[in-house]
Amino acid sequence: MCSAVAACRPATVQSPCIRTAQNDRAAYSGHMSDEIALTGLTVFGYHGVFDHERTEGQEFTIDVRLRLPLAPAAASDDVLDTVHYGELAERVAAVVAGEPVNLIETLAERIAEIVLSDERVQSTSVTVHKPHAPIPLSFADVSVTVHRARSSA
């Protein structure tokens, strides 16, 4: 391998020092470490197993992390080459404000499905916080996190 001190010398066989667009694409398609995070999205909804939760409602806070290659967007500087987090926030909010479910596990799953509907997203983590859950004890928060990845099939 080339070091910062040693210069690459031309060789008849391609040296590991030579970078090509093909090598760059291969590197980007490997381990997915790029991430977009949307945290603290607070939306009023009517989810829960108790009747009063369904009639009175409460605030839910959502955190979403999505992993996808961000190099294409960085190279083009075009929002069309990435997930538009404003539009994502609106779609997530519509799920939380929409059809009630009993469990926040179900709500998290529905949000994960929305995130993965964009084919560029390889995986997601969705946390649904229910800070006003009907628990007769002092607590700061109750949350559920689901981790979902696109199937390779």
Structure tokens at 101: 């479910």
- Indicate if 150 belongs to the active site: no
CB proximity list for 153: less than 8 A, separation 6 or greater: none
Cβ neighbors of 150 (< 8 A, separation 6 or more) are 116, 119, 121, 122, 123
Catalytic residue among 6, 130, 143, 149: 130
Where b means 16+ CB within 10 Å and e means fewer, 80-119 reads eebbebeebeeebbebbeeeebeebeebbbbbbebbbebe
Question: Catalytic residue positions?
Answer: 130
